[in-house]
Amino acid sequence: MKTFHFFWSIENISYAWHQPGRPIVSPEFCCKPFGFTLWTLELYPRGVDNSDFFSLNLCRSEDGGPDNLSLNIKFSCMSTDRSELHSVFIPQTFTNFKNNGFSTYGEECFIQRYEVLGRKRALYVPRDTLELRCQMWLADLNAPEFDECYGFTRLMVQRIPRRDVHIDFENALEKSFPIQSVRRNNKTLMVFSFIPHGEVMDVGIIPVTEELMKYSTCKMSIVNEKTGRKIFDCTRHFFGCPKKTEWRFPFVDKMPPAEKEISEKYHYEISVELAYSTGEDQKAIEQNRPIRAPEFFSNYVVRYTPYGQLQDLSNVSDDLWKMYTEQVLCDVELKSRNKSLFAHQFVLCARSTVFSIMLSGEMKEKMERCIEIEDITPESLGEFLKFLYTNSFTFFTWKTLMELYYAADKYSIERLKLLCCSHFLKNINVKNVFELLFLADRHQDSELRRRVDQFIWENDETIFTSSRWKHLTIEQPKLVIQTMLSKYNEKVNQNPPGTYENRISFGLDIHDEFKSFYESQMFCDIVIKTAGTKFPAHKTVLCASSSTFKEIFTKDLKDEPTDLFEMTDFDDNTVSQMLLFLYTDSLEDLQWHTAMKLYDLANVYKIQRLKIHISCFFLKNLRVPIASNLLLFAHERSDNALRAAVEDYILLYHEEVFGSDEWAKVVETNSVLALEIMQAKFRKNKTCL
């Protein structure tokens, strides 16, 4: 038996903008058992002819395989654990794939849209990802062979951060606010207005900017600010941009009698979330079977990052950059010509050994707490500092790029230097090549020089006949001779180092540099004392991550400064884990009981970043036996976001959870909470009927 399986994940499937007859095409995959033939899958989100169904086709590309190929085909929808939910079989007697680039077989009525995106949505598209499998096989007893392949297609979706507005029903005050695109420099997309009228509320949408929206959703929810209870929830869908419209929602009628009585006394919070597909997609073949995060986890992450990606959560670099922009506890002055910028010694010394030397010992810079950088403009110095804090780089003007390279080389910021070189070579031409030649020679950068010489030889006819080159032969004959000889330097040309991009990717990460500097215990200005030991640390890092530390240590500036802070309520291991996280954003060898202690520490000292990461740890490791205890944990600490995620998990595995001994303890401990969860499951079942 020759068998081949192709697994295909389509992310953000509910944002598919494709009209009937328009497919989503998978990445092309190679089928080794059938002569290395090439194939794609085509999914029609609104069918080929019938928009009530998904259509699915298998298409053969032009390849070097046999001219004709008849195969058994089985299309399946898969669950997150790879079990089969729905399938369609097409026998080989019905197929004959020709090697002409457009041979296709499939099923026009593969599965109903309502089944996938409505009635059984939680089963078919958790985290809005549809998992498909295409099985291809052929009876061949002489040469049994099996292979499989994994691919994904991601429909690109822009998610606008949630906006909250407070509504005063008692005074019937109108509220309005803009919805802005973070990725388009806060450009206003539309304006929402809210006008309460007794038992109803008018909601208006006014589009402002024509944005590239292929399909959009607008979600609104109303929450009682006192009880935290969600009273109303509504989602509207639009092809293209939301049109100018006005909705009228019944409001008070949705509330239970107890809340109707107090509706005049308490205000309500309305949340608006907008998301839209851009008409773009990404697709690729994956080497290994990907691990998909469950929906309850991704829903939690979306609360804290507009695009739902864990890597987009706030990190130590973001927090330190905020400290810089707010100019909190800045302790070093950097002078550039007629302007001074103030930064943090911790960041400068952690990123640059040169700064570390300048600010230690008996150096002038340490005494005066001032570093003079007169070789670059204040604007370039600002961008240089931004890189030190955030490790991010944006292409600037050519002049700024040259100055950034100079600063990176002078202060040994290797990653910035490599990024500058990479941008130089991406934008090199016959006019600016002379500047790069001078730059590489002046800084003795042999690798940049080799790349520039290579470009010169690739364009030798144009460059050698230019007036600039002729002047160069007179003004700097030695440089010209070196360039001419570079063509014959076989040793250099035969053994070039890796590309700048590869060297950048293998270089030290900013978190590694912060961790190394923390472990060196250099320039520590505070000691954290526990019951058992002491931990040297940096006030800058503590204040960047914690509003409590920030309040304490900025108050020290007005009073008598302290170099000792006691945290005797928490054990040594918990404090050690906290400090490691504050410097590196990592939680090494974390155990469940330590995570609970860290969460409480984060609560006490208001370390939001740590609290979110600990919650993600809880949710990643959530299992039925501990779900009930985690629900109580979140409820007792009034963490509505964590509680909502645990509730989603419990509703997903309700049979196992509700029948467990742990759930019986929840009923005994907090019967009101248990009743709320079980009623939510009842309402969900009723909705799906």
Which tokens sit at 346?
A: 């911790």
pLDDT score of 256 = 47
Instruction: Name the DSSP class of 59.
Output: E
Three-state DSSP state, 439: helix
Query: How many of the other CB atoms lie within 10 Å of CB of 252?
Result: 16
Give the residue with greater pLDDT, 147 vs 186: 147
| Angle in degrees, CA 425, 426, 430, rounded to 5 | 65
Tracing tokens 């029903």 back to the chain, one arrives at 169
Instruction: Name the DSSP class of 115.
Output: I
Distance of CA 642 to the CA centre of its chain: 19
pLDDT score of 563 = 87
| 121 residue type, one letter | R
pLDDT score of 264 = 45
Instruction: Name the DSSP class of 128.
Output: G
Q: How confident is the model at residue 363 (pLDDT cuts 50, 70, 90)?
A: confident
Q: What is the pTM of this model?
A: 0.61
Give the residue with greater pLDDT, 346 vs 651: 346
Over residues 637-658, the mean pLDDT reads: 88
Residue 107 to residue 95: CA distance in whole angstroms: 12
Q: How confident is the model at residue 220 (pLDDT cuts 50, 70, 90)?
A: confident
Q: CB under 8 Å to 608, separation ≥6 — which residues?
A: 314, 602
Which tokens sit at 188?
A: 């206003």
pLDDT score of 261 = 46
pLDDT score of 312 = 66
Q: How confident is the model at residue 322 (pLDDT cuts 50, 70, 90)?
A: very high
> Which of the residue ranges 254-268, 280-294, 364-378 would you say has the lowest mean pLDDT?
254-268
> Which of the residue ranges 21-25, 375-379, 610-614 would you say has the lowest mean pLDDT?
375-379
C-alpha torsion angle, residues 464, 465, 466, 467 (rounded to 10): 110
Q: What is the 3-state secondary structure (H, E, C) of 386-438?
A: HHHHHCCCCCCCHHHHHHHHHHHHHCCCHHHHHHHHHHHHHCCCCCCHHHHHH
Summarised one tens digit per residue, pLDDT across range 607-634 is: 999 999 999 999 988 888 899 999 999 9
Summarised one tens digit per residue, pLDDT across range 540-551 is: 999 999 999 999
pLDDT reading at 508 higher than 90: no
Summarised one tens digit per residue, pLDDT across range 232-279 is: 677 777 777 666 666 665 554 444 444 444 444 456 677 777 788 888
Count, residues in the chain: 689
pLDDT reading at 175 higher than 90: no
Which helix (H) or strand (E) segment is 557 a member of?
helix 547-558
Instruction: Indicate the burial class of 459 (C-beta count within 10 angstroms; 0-12, 13-18, 19 or more).
Output: middle
Give the residue with greater pLDDT, 617 vs 682: 617
pLDDT score of 217 = 82
> Which of the residue ranges 156-170, 199-213, 664-678 would you say has the lowest mean pLDDT?
156-170
pLDDT score of 486 = 82
Q: CB under 8 Å to 499, separation ≥6 — which residues?
A: none
332-336 and 370-372 as β-strands: parallel, antiparallel, unpaired? parallel
pLDDT score of 226 = 65
Residue 347 to residue 345: CA distance in whole angstroms: 6
CB 34 within 8 A of CB 138: yes
Summarised one tens digit per residue, pLDDT across range 79-92 is: 876 778 999 999 98
Mean pLDDT of the chain: 84
> Which of the residue ranges 56-70, 273-287, 471-485 would you say has the lowest mean pLDDT?
273-287
> Which of the residue ranges 116-130, 183-197, 523-537, 653-667 would you say has the lowest mean pLDDT?
183-197
CB 59 within 8 A of CB 42: yes
pLDDT reading at 173 higher than 80: no
Residue 134 to residue 106: CA distance in whole angstroms: 11
Q: How confident is the model at residue 317 (pLDDT cuts 50, 70, 90)?
A: very high
> Which of the residue ranges 86-100, 454-468, 560-574, 671-685 would you say has the lowest mean pLDDT?
671-685
pLDDT score of 688 = 43
Over residues 640-646, the mean pLDDT reads: 91
Which helix (H) or strand (E) segment is 92 a member of?
none
Q: How confident is the model at residue 184 (pLDDT cuts 50, 70, 90)?
A: low
Which helix (H) or strand (E) segment is 186 a member of?
none
C-alpha torsion angle, residues 69, 73, 75, 80 (rounded to 10): -100
Nearest to 166 by CA among 251, 272, 268, 271: 268
Portion of the chain with pLDDT greater than 90, in percent: 47
C-alpha torsion angle, residues 623, 628, 633, 639 (rounded to 10): 80
Which tokens sit at 666?
A: 């929840």
